[in-house]
């Protein structure tokens, strides 16, 4: 599955499209030039349990590393992933 990125001036999203529909999405808000705030992660019920939300969180983390940003996971799901796999995110929190 290909993760796409929508980058707006102060907000953005990473999402997965299948058959023309967004089946999973993670949205974030830019906080200055140094941090993004993950504010929402959602996966279509039909695709639940396939790890798509986790893939989006890891993709957002990769984006943050690439752009030398910190991440604040306010979304409950993203916060849980960051806590559960804290060693994978130490460099961006």
Confidence of residue 1 (pLDDT cuts 50, 70, 90): confident
- Write down how long the chain is: 93
Tokens encoding 42: 């959602």
pLDDT of 80: 98
What average pLDDT does the chain have?
97
Give residue for tokens 């705030």.
37
pLDDT in tens, 28-57: 999 999 999 999 999 999 999 999 999 999
CA angle 82, 85, 87 (to 5 degrees): 100
Residue 18 CA to residue 9 CA, distance in Å, equals 26
- CATH number of the domain located at residue range(s) 3-92 in this protein: 3.40.630.30
User: What are the boundaries of each domain within the chain?
Assistant: 3-92
Is the pLDDT assigned to residue 17 strictly greater than 80? yes
Give the residue among 29, 71, 79, 32 at the shortest CA–CA distance from 54. Answer: 79
Residue 24's beta-bridge partner residues? 16, 43
> pTM of this prediction?
0.95
């Amino acid at each position: 599955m290909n993760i796409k990125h929508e980058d707006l001036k102060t907000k953005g999203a990473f999402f997965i499209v299948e058959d023309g529909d967004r089946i999973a999405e993670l949205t974030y808000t830019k906080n200055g030039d140094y941090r993004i705030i993950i504010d929402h992660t959602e996966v279509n019920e039909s695709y639940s349990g396939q790890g798509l939300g986790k893939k989006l969180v890891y993709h957002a983390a990769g984006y943050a590393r690439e752009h030398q940003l910190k991440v604040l996971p306010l979304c409950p799901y993203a916060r849980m992933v960051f806590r559960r796999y804290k060693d994978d995110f130490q460099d961006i929190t």
